Structure 1
């Protein structure tokens, strides 16, 4: 195989040639991408000025093909980024007709876009809508939360949501399916004091469904918890005998409670029972004790004894 040997001068000339060729290609690409060209992308529609007295439902997808006149650089970057600002469409004309012509809003739509590109066409050009009577309904707010607490701290009372109900307006058939409205997730960690936060409601994914207000105030009472022990009398149920004695007559219940409620915890807030039918029908020799009433936000740690003895005198 023949090997071509070049002199130093020839190698230098060849290097200059390829350098010039590369620069020419780069210059050609730069010039080409700098020229304005039309290109098409898919973009999401965002509605504004929706009719207040008419509920509507779009009869086409919420994305459209948008033809834009811009430089090759803008087309390249739009493909690389994969996302764009939604097109804002004014629905004011729906007050007296059931369609919106996008070509009549090109200047307004184009003004809302960033950059020097120009929207020249939208496909489909006309958006059609289906209408029904608008209904207003109040539904409860459902809090989504993921809250963790410091050791010995926990929720010490009912969580308050203000307002507890929000107003939802939209088509009658759609509102029949809505029984509550969820908030965005409230995520907190290491909490050791009462939480007072403003939480956004999940936005409506349907253009003809509106909610008010858009956010609620959430109050989560938090307190430090400690243990307390009380003696609770045991009540015997299903007792058909005139003389039955139980031993012991009181049990010790150890439970956790918040420091703010600690002084108010007394035996009247608890109720303990033992069922004599467990002996009558199942042959139990001792009766397990069951707590049927416990103060809210208290957690039972242990019951001593868990079973009681009994004597029946016939």
Structure 2
């Protein structure tokens, strides 16, 4: 294969040629991207001024295609780093009809957008809605907790939520599927005292639903926990033949954790320990395991000693 040898002058000329070619290509790309260029992107829809006496269901997707009169640079950056700006649609026309024409609201929509991000066309231009009777329903509020407690501290009682119920309005078929409404997550770390905060409810994601109120007061009792041990009598269950059964021992030691504020109130009558005689009759157990069938809320059982008891059936 022949190798072309170039002189110093020829190599210099060739280098200048490719340099000029590269600069020309860069200039062409820059000029092209700087020129006006319409491009299409997807945008989400959000609604305002929903009809108060009607429930509605959109008959199309909650995103639309919009044509923006921008530049090639804007089109390029929109592909690389999408800058979502939801389109706000005024639903006032639904008071008298079942559709909204977006082009009639285009001037108001563009007024909220940058001058170099003006919308020239929308697809679809007309949004249609299905109407049903609007109903209301009260559902309980559930607080989402993301709390990390300091060592030996924990939640010590029921979470208080005020109001405990919120009113949800919307179509009957949609309300049937709603049994509760969650709050935004309550997050905290290294907690060693009770929490009282106002938290927003999770927002409505459908335009045909509304909730009231939109925030609630949440109180979370927090206390330091310590261990306590009590002697709990063992209750024999399923003695169907009323046999004379003697159990050994008659009491077991139950070790549990409880909050300091409730420590003095923890007594044996708040606990119930049972042993099932059916385990001997039906399965041949020689000792009976002890089960705690009742104990106070927010107490954590550490151990039961002994875990199994002996028994004698007297004839």
Partner of residue 103, structure 1: 103
Please state how far the C-alpha of 1:122 moved relative to its aligned partner: 0.9
2: CA distance between counterparts of 1:243 and 1:40? 86
1:181 paired to 2:149: no
Give the length in aligned residue pairs: 313
1:33 paired to 2:46: no
Correspondences of 1:199-214 after superposition (within 5 Å): 199-214=199-214
The change in CA–CA distance for 1:134 and 1:281 in structure 2 (over 3 A counts) is closer
Residue pair 2:69, 2:116 contacting (<8 A) in 1 also: no
Partner of residue 262, structure 1: 263
Query: What is the DSSP-based 3-state SS (H/G/I as helix, E as strand, rest coil) of the residue aligned with 2:61?
Result: coil
2: CA distance between counterparts of 1:254 and 1:150? 22
Correspondences of 1:12-23 after superposition (within 5 Å): 12-23=12-23
- 170-179 vs 27-36, greater mean Cα deviation: 27-36
Please state how far the C-alpha of 1:139 moved relative to its aligned partner: 0.8
Q: Once the two structures are superposed, what CA deviation does each residue of 1:143-179 show, in whole Å capped at 9, x if it has no partner?
A: 3334343332222111222222111111112111211
Correspondences of 1:81-120 after superposition (within 5 Å): 81-120=81-120
Please state how far the C-alpha of 1:244 moved relative to its aligned partner: 6.2
Q: Once the two structures are superposed, what CA deviation does each residue of 1:72-93 show, in whole Å capped at 9, x if it has no partner?
A: 2112211222342111111111
1: CA distance between counterparts of 2:240 and 2:3? 115
Residue pair 1:230, 1:267 contacting (<8 A) in 2 also: yes
Partner of residue 44, structure 2: 44
Residue pair 1:71, 1:117 contacting (<8 A) in 2 also: no
Residue pair 1:78, 1:84 contacting (<8 A) in 2 also: no
User: TM-score, structure 2 length as denominator?
Assistant: 0.86
User: TM-score, structure 1 length as denominator?
Assistant: 0.86
Partner of residue 300, structure 1: 301
Please state how far the C-alpha of 1:98 moved relative to its aligned partner: 1.2
Please state how far the C-alpha of 1:205 moved relative to its aligned partner: 2.3
Unaligned runs of 5+ in 1: none
Alpha-carbon RMSD: 2.8
1: CA distance between counterparts of 2:11 and 2:243? 121
Please state how far the C-alpha of 1:310 moved relative to its aligned partner: 5.2
Please state how far the C-alpha of 1:305 moved relative to its aligned partner: 3.3
The change in CA–CA distance for 1:288 and 1:61 in structure 2 (over 3 A counts) is closer
Please state how far the C-alpha of 1:94 moved relative to its aligned partner: 1.2
Partner of residue 121, structure 1: 121
Partner of residue 171, structure 2: 171
Please state how far the C-alpha of 1:202 moved relative to its aligned partner: 2.6
Residue pair 1:156, 1:223 contacting (<8 A) in 2 also: yes
The change in CA–CA distance for 1:71 and 1:312 in structure 2 (over 3 A counts) is closer
Please state how far the C-alpha of 1:309 moved relative to its aligned partner: 4.8
